[in-house]
Amino acid sequence: MKLKAGTKLESAVCDTQVMVLRVPDRDLDVRCGGVPLQLDPGQQEGEPEAGFDGGTLVGKRYNDADDTMEFLCTRGGAGSLSVDGTLLEQKLAKKLPSSD
């Protein structure tokens, strides 16, 4: 599906919830635990598939290797995020001193 910044997505197999921060202008197959993410919180069924079960952490940002897209995990869960079959990576942010 085509996504836009600000859209909230829910996992179908775990508690993971993400918000789209940045996506390219094309159809994306975004999944969690190997199962497509859904727009509305539906029934949770089954569990994450092997290889897509590393988990997500609340507050972390996830992007693809080329940094063409970015998602914010707003609730963590047992599944891992993937787009078009490839796992997303947790974006490693430089730890900054508090400035305000």
Partner 1 sequence: MNLSLILQMAADAMPDRVALTSSDDQLTYGELQRLSVAAAKRIGPNRKIAYVAENSAAAPIALFGAALAGVPYVPINYRLAPDRVEALLRRVGPCLLVGEADAVLPQVEQIDPAAFLADLRTFDGETAHDMPEEEGGIAVELFTSGTTGEPKAAILRHNHLLAYILGSVEFMAASEDEAALVTVPPYHIAGVSTVLSSTYAGRRTVQLPSFTPEAWIDLAEREDITQAFLVPTMLQRIVAVGQERGGLHLPALRSIAYGGGRMPLSVIEAAMEMLPDVAFTNAYGLTETSSTIALLGPDEHRVAAASTDPAIRRRLASVGKPLPELEIEIRTASGARCETGETGDLYVRGEQVSGEYAGGAAKDRTDGWFATRDRACLDADGFLFLDGRADDVIVRGGENISPGEIEDVLASHPAVQEAAAVGIPDDEWGEAIGVAVVLRDGMAQPEPEELIDHIRAQLRSSRIPGVIRFIDQLPYNEMGKLLRREIGAILQTSA
Q: Which two tokens stand for residue 21?
A: 């921060």
Site string for partner 1, 37-76 (x = CB under 8 A): ---------------------xxxx----------x-xx-
Segment interacting with partner 1, rule: CB under 8 A, options 5-13, 24-32, 43-51, 78-86: 5-13
The label of the residue with tokens 């507050």 reads 59
Question: b/e string for 61-90 if b means 16 or more Cβ within 10 A?
Answer: bbbbeeeebbbbbebbbbbbbbbeeeebee
Shortest distance, CB of residue 11 to partner 1, whole angstroms?
15
> Under the criterion CB under 8 A, does residue 6 sit at the interface with partner 1?
yes
